Amino acid sequence: MPIKLPSFRPRRDAYPPDLWTKCPSCGEMLFNKQLDKVLRVCPSCGNHFRLSAAARLEMLVDQGSFAERDGGLESEDPLGFVDQKTYPDRVAAAQLATGMRDAAVWGSAAIHATPIVICVMDFGFMGGSMGAVVGEKVTRAAEHALANRIPLLIVAASGGARMQEGTLSLMQLAKTVGAIERLRVDGVPFVSLLSDPTTGGVFASFAVLGDVNIAEPNALIGFAGARVTAGTIAQELPPGFQRSEFLFSHGFLDRVIHRSELRDEIATLLRFLVARPAPVPPEGPGGDPLGLPSFRAISFLSNLAERVLPPDPDETGGSTNGHRPGSVTPSAPPEPPAEPPAAVPPPATAAPPVDPAPRVAAEEAERG
Ligand SMILES: [Zn+2]
């Protein structure tokens, strides 16, 4: 006689792999669906969990407004780097796990109907490390913001430069900073949101160069790890070292904002920060026919060299404070570099300068 087995409901093919998350801060077990509803902030202790790039975009920008660009950019393996795995294998595994091509996405979007250019990093993709692709995306986002005079918002989440790309990843620091500098010179706003964690080469380049630098509560933000820092300075570190609140109280950040208020606060900021109107391209033989901003890699480097190199002994008064022949203060009396450059006249009018170069020189002199 055949045995009749009780019938069971067929097993569901795919259960969500993680139904519960344990809060690392207070130990509470949190139901993931519930956690998603509260923007992944622990309801009992306020711990801000890390967000994927997709979740971050959904939380920040107007629904359906994000249009990704350069989604197909992918890392190559120029060094043939192998540690326990080959670099292409690592990238493939990260792509499979996250559904992303690399650790950042960028595109155009809107917050409270204000158009923005946004670039979001994802710590889940190889620790949000910055290789050539991330550097390129940040740079393209900045260039797009500059060309269209739209504010730029970058959400950083990174452990630093991607070691598998060696010096190519380090070159991204200079590249991204160059692109951000052009925004500053041209008066296009850049808001930097530092999320947990923002460290290493990303901290050391574009992430802290915002016109406004904001962070989420208790985010780890710093260059080197606490242990390395403590070892280097041979001192005990103060409590809360490298956390948002510590950096805020020391003037390094402009604001620490709870995740539930981020969207509204950034929208308010963007109402204040409006891009300066495009400068009129200067005419004449010295003018730039394409109307490109005045940043030039060569002039930037030579200006840097002027500051770093010891002054020519033939010159009197020294030239390390950035004053050059033809700059705004040719007839100013020689003064020691340490003196505050109060003699530098401000730009003549409040209207957008016809030639941005004198303004740049004036700003450089102010900082010099
Ligand atoms: Zn908690």
Q: 68, 54 in Cβ contact below 8 A?
A: no
Within a domain: residue 289?
no
Within a domain: residue 210?
yes
Within a domain: residue 288?
no
The answer for residues whose C-beta is within 8 angstroms of residue 268's C-beta and 6 or more apart is: none
Within a domain: residue 242?
yes
Q: Are residues 29 and 90 in the same domain?
A: no
> Does residue 157 sit in helix, strand or coil?
strand
Q: In the predicted model, what is the mean pLDDT of residues 178-203?
A: 97
CA distance 228 to 217: 23
- Quote the pLDDT of residue 16: 59
Confidence of residue 293 (pLDDT cuts 50, 70, 90): low
Instruction: Determine the distance separating the centroid of ligand 1 and the alpha carbon of 223, expressed in angstroms.
Output: 26
Of 66, 64, 68, which is closest to residue 109 (Cα–Cα)? 66
End-of-domain residue from the set 49, 65, 88: 49
**Residue 121 clears pLDDT 50, i.e. is over it:** yes
Q: Are residues 99 and 242 in the same domain?
A: yes
Q: Are residues 84 and 32 in the same domain?
A: no
> What is the token pair recorded at 247?
């950096």
CA distance 222 to 227: 12
CA distance 266 to 275: 15
Q: In the predicted model, what is the mean pLDDT of residues 129-142?
A: 97
Confidence of residue 360 (pLDDT cuts 50, 70, 90): very low
Q: Are residues 59 and 174 in the same domain?
A: yes
Instruction: Determine the distance separating the centroid of ligand 1 and the alpha carbon of 276, expressed in angstroms.
Output: 43
End-of-domain residue from the set 241, 272, 303: 272
Angle 193-197-199 from CA coordinates, rounded to 5°:
95
On average, the pLDDT of the chain sits at 84
Instruction: Determine the distance separating the centroid of ligand 1 and the alpha carbon of 24, expressed in angstroms.
Output: 7
Instruction: Determine the distance separating the centroid of ligand 1 and the alpha carbon of 22, expressed in angstroms.
Output: 8
How far, CA to CA in Å, does 286 sit from each of 282, 350, 357, 358?
8, 24, 11, 13
Residues with CB under 5 A from ligand 1 (ion): 23, 25-26, 28, 42, 44-45, 47
Instruction: Determine the distance separating the centroid of ligand 1 and the alpha carbon of 39, expressed in angstroms.
Output: 13
Q: Are residues 242 and 306 in the same domain?
A: no
Q: Are residues 308 and 234 in the same domain?
A: no
Instruction: Determine the distance separating the centroid of ligand 1 and the alpha carbon of 238, expressed in angstroms.
Output: 23
Within a domain: residue 283?
no
Instruction: Determine the distance separating the centroid of ligand 1 and the alpha carbon of 29, expressed in angstroms.
Output: 8
> What is the token pair recorded at 293?
């901003």
Q: Are residues 302 and 229 in the same domain?
A: no
Within a domain: residue 70?
yes
- Quote the pLDDT of residue 285: 54
Instruction: Determine the distance separating the centroid of ligand 1 and the alpha carbon of 194, expressed in angstroms.
Output: 21
CA distance 224 to 164: 18
- Quote the pLDDT of residue 246: 96
pLDDT digits (tens, 9 = 90+) for 151-164: 999 999 999 999 99
How many residues are given for the chain? 368
Q: What is the pTM (predicted TM-score) of this model?
A: 0.73
Q: 194, 215 in Cβ contact below 8 A?
A: yes
Neighbours of 240 (CB within 10 A): 12
Look at the block and give the residue holding tokens 């495009």.
278
Instruction: Determine the distance separating the centroid of ligand 1 and the alpha carbon of 63, expressed in angstroms.
Output: 28
Q: 226, 242 in Cβ contact below 8 A?
A: yes
CA distance 276 to 185: 10
> Residue 229: which CATH number?
3.90.226.10
Q: Are residues 368 and 237 in the same domain?
A: no
Phi, psi of 239 (to 5 degrees): -65, 145
* Domain extent at residue 143: 50-272
pLDDT digits (tens, 9 = 90+) for 82-102: 999 999 999 999 999 999 999
Q: Are residues 256 and 329 in the same domain?
A: no
Q: Are residues 74 and 94 in the same domain?
A: yes
State how many domains the chain has. 3
Neighbours of 88 (CB within 10 A): 16
**Residue 32 clears pLDDT 50, i.e. is over it:** yes
Instruction: Determine the distance separating the centroid of ligand 1 and the alpha carbon of 122, expressed in angstroms.
Output: 22
Instruction: Determine the distance separating the centroid of ligand 1 and the alpha carbon of 83, expressed in angstroms.
Output: 36
End-of-domain residue from the set 10, 34, 49: 49
Within a domain: residue 13?
no
Q: Are residues 84 and 182 in the same domain?
A: yes
Any idea which of 32-36, 40-44, 197-201, 224-228 has the lowest mean pLDDT?
224-228
Summarize the chain as % helix, strand, coil (round to 5). 35, 15, 50
Within a domain: residue 227?
yes
Of 75, 106, 92, 79, which is closest to residue 176 (Cα–Cα)? 106
Q: 188, 145 in Cβ contact below 8 A?
A: yes
Instruction: Determine the distance separating the centroid of ligand 1 and the alpha carbon of 49, expressed in angstroms.
Output: 9
Helices (H), 109-156: 132-148
Q: Are residues 320 and 238 in the same domain?
A: no
